Amino acid sequence: MNLGTDLVLMTGAAGWLGRAVLHALVHGLPESPLVGAAQPGLRIRVLVLPGEEQAVREIGGDVEIVTGDLRNPRDGTRLCHGAGGAALLHLAGIIHPGKVRDFYDVNLRGTLNVMSAAVESGVRRAVVMSSNSPLGCNPHPDHVFDEDSPYNPYLNYGRSKMQMEQRVAEFQAGGRIETVVIRAPWFYGPFQPPRQTLFFTMIREGKAPIVGGGANLRSMAYTDNLAQGILLAALTPQAAERTYWIADRRPYAMNEVVDTVERLLETEFGRPCAHKRLRLPGIASEVALLVDRGLQAAGLYQQKIHVLSEMNKTIACSIARAERELGYAPAVALEEGMRRSLRWMDERGMLPA
């Protein structure tokens, strides 16, 4: 790869996606010809919270670690010090916080802090991670989002990311930095957090929730596919000022996702499964949405209720623009991606026994 700079800055490097992207920077991405081998002599500087340094060191490579918090403007300044001409990969964010205000403190104000520091230091381009949530859920089952779809944010996470996208566009309009926004749906793959382990455990025990018929579609992104899209956005000159959906080539029905994991657990990892589902009527998600709205209106957030509120929804996107303009070519689909994810867990003793 040739990123057009010898210095890359990263936020969120100790997270699920961040470690996948850091691994691609350090070791290359051979399944993507346009990214390919690691760039010789590339310097990498990352900002992580105190206590997260080891997660970065495990990736290997010569990575400069800055400890701090995006909510502190001074820490963004330390990350970007002397980084004229660099590329910034801003991947940090919060999805399941303790309180609603954390969405805005981290996803919005944290982004403004690091973007302001990047502009002041002369960073050339910022690739900023967003989400499907600023657009909410598809209006009908056959609909797919593209980059021209209107905003319809899903509760406070979606609003925080929508406002973030709007403010990032203002930085680009100011002419002092190039920006690219990446919208990613639900992602999966190695480096997953404990909540993903719980998902696999529920499938094995026959407790995976299927709300409604389970035919609703979800776009998903294997982490190496997503890393490919992020790096292509960093190195493609014409990507400046653009927004891209990055996901696997096609969306998957919820039934397909659960069936695929169940089959792999049994046939390839020797984990017998209960072959049951926790089947709930579609109204269960609608009730959860009402409860979620009430809690968030009071400033509170409950992860399980929020996840249940989305379980009967279609959230599907088109990757046509990324394919056309970036040369994005997702090399891994659901079965192989889940196989690699389960293997990563098995090698670390994390698979449900």
Per-residue pLDDT of the chain (353 residues; tens, 9 = 90+): 888 899 999 999 999 999 999 999 999 999 999 999 999 999 999 999 999 999 999 999 989 999 999 999 999 999 999 999 999 999 999 999 989 999 999 999 999 999 999 999 999 999 999 999 999 999 999 999 999 999 999 999 999 999 999 999 999 998 889 999 999 999 999 998 877 788 899 999 999 999 999 999 999 999 999 999 999 999 999 999 999 999 999 999 999 999 999 999 999 999 999 999 999 999 999 999 999 999 999 999 999 999 999 999 999 999 999 999 999 999 999 999 999 999 999 998 888 77
Chain centroid to CA 117: how far?
23
| Cβ density class 147-171: b for 16+ within 10 Å, e for less | bebeeebbbbbbbbbbbbbeebeeb
∠ Cα 220 16 113 (to 5°): 105
From 302, 275, 277, 281, select the one nearest 291 (Cα to Cα): 302
Tell me the pTM.
Answer: 0.94
pLDDT at 313: 95
Instruction: Give the alpha-carbon dihedral of 273, 276, 280, 281, to 10 degrees.
Output: 130
- Assess contact for 106 and 49: CB atoms under 8 A: no
The residues near 175 (Cβ < 8 Å, ≥ 6 apart) are none
From 68, 58, 75, select the one nearest 19 (Cα to Cα): 58
pLDDT at 192: 87
What residue ranges define each of the domains in the chain, with the CATH number in brackets?
A: 7-188+220-249+315-332 (3.40.50.720)
Cα–Cα distances in angstroms (integers) from residue 315 to residues 70, 86, 257, 318, in the given order: 29, 34, 14, 11
- Assess contact for 43 and 7: CB atoms under 8 A: yes
